[in-house]
Structure 1
Amino acid sequence: MQHVARLLRAERRALGTRAGAWALTCFYQALLVLVWFRKGEDKTIIGAGFGVSRATAYRCVAEAVRVLAAQTPTLHDALARVAADGWSHVILDGKLFDTDRLAETTSSVKCDPIDAWHSGKYRDFGANIQAVMRPRPRRYA
């Protein structure tokens, strides 16, 4: 949680946000976001628990997700790193996370309009998060 709070604080400094402009401090914003990630409850309910409006809860989550996403390496960078470490292969795995409020349409191969965030396998809306992993677990001494 402290790591997320530090990232949020650095983001606010980089943007020149004045102190007290947000309804929550970086610490409580990080806590709100981690509660949302863990429990997956409605942002209105979580926001009420922190004494902020639904809109503020959405903005808090959106900012934290943007800040966390900026920390992730690209697939090219991750593969270059494992190649430099001498790995013979990697495992690419993913998970579908339930999402709400994603409405984007795109065209299929047959030029039919389709929902970009709809999973045919799960028959629900979701975001597919991919990860590159080690072929075997790391052993710590």
Structure 2
Amino acid sequence: MIAHRATLDVSRALVQHLGRLLRDERRLRGTLKDSRALTPFRQAVMVLCWFRGERDIPKLGRDHRVSRATAYRYIHEGIKVLAAQAPDLSEALDHAQAEGLAYAILDAP
């Protein structure tokens, strides 16, 4: 196997923002400092790699030196904290109306 480094095409500010959200979530859960395999920043990098197209979670785990189970858990934690930031439908429609938009495209699973 050959090790290599890659560049993630997102801003450092985005990684830091997600890292802060993850750190805050850990505090809410009462997670002890330095008890996790990755720092919130490194977890944010892994989550953003997944969002940017690296869908092989076991590979992401290997790349970040965590187990498969930890990789899955960290990805799902990242998705959860980001989803909590999204407005609900009524908030999105209120915002669209306040902006004077003629229409809004809503996409949901």
Q: Which TM bucket (shorter chain)?
A: 0.7 to 0.9
Q: CA RMSD in A?
A: 1.5
Which of 18, 23, 26 is 1:9 aligned to?
23
1:87-136 Cα deviation digits (max 9, x unpaired): 23223356xxxxxxxxxxxxxxxxxxxxxxxxxxxxxxxxx3xxxxxxxx
Aligned ranges for residues 1-141 of structure 1 at < 5 Å?
Answer: 1-93=15-107, 128=109
Q: Counterparts of 2:77 and 2:105 in 1: how far apart (Å)?
A: 30
What secondary structure does 1:40 align onto?
A: coil
Gaps of 5+ in 2: 1-14
Cα distance in 2 for residues equivalent to 1:92 and 1:26 = 31
Q: CA deviation at 1:39?
A: 2.6
TM-score by length of 2: 0.79
Indicate the structure with greater strand content.
1
- Measured after TM superposition, the shift of residue 19 of structure 1 is 0.5
Paired with 2:30 and 2:75, the residues of 1 have a C-alpha distance of 19
Alignment gaps of 5+ in structure 1: 95-127, 129-141
* Structure label with greater radius of gyration: 1
C-alpha deviation, 1:82, in angstroms:
1.6
C-alpha offsets along residues 53-73 of structure 1, whole Å, 9 cap, x if unaligned? 000000100100000000000
TM-score normalized with structure 1 length: 0.62
Q: How many residues align?
A: 95
The CA distance in 2 between the partners of 1:29 and 1:7, in whole Å, is 11
Which structure features the higher share of helix residues? Answer: 2
Counterpart contact for 2:54–2:60, Cα < 8 Å = no
- Flag as ranges the 4+ runs of structure 1 deviating above 4 A: none
Q: In the aligned structure 2, how far is the partner of 1:37 from the partner of 1:89?
A: 27
Q: How much identity, in percent, do the aligned residues show?
A: 49
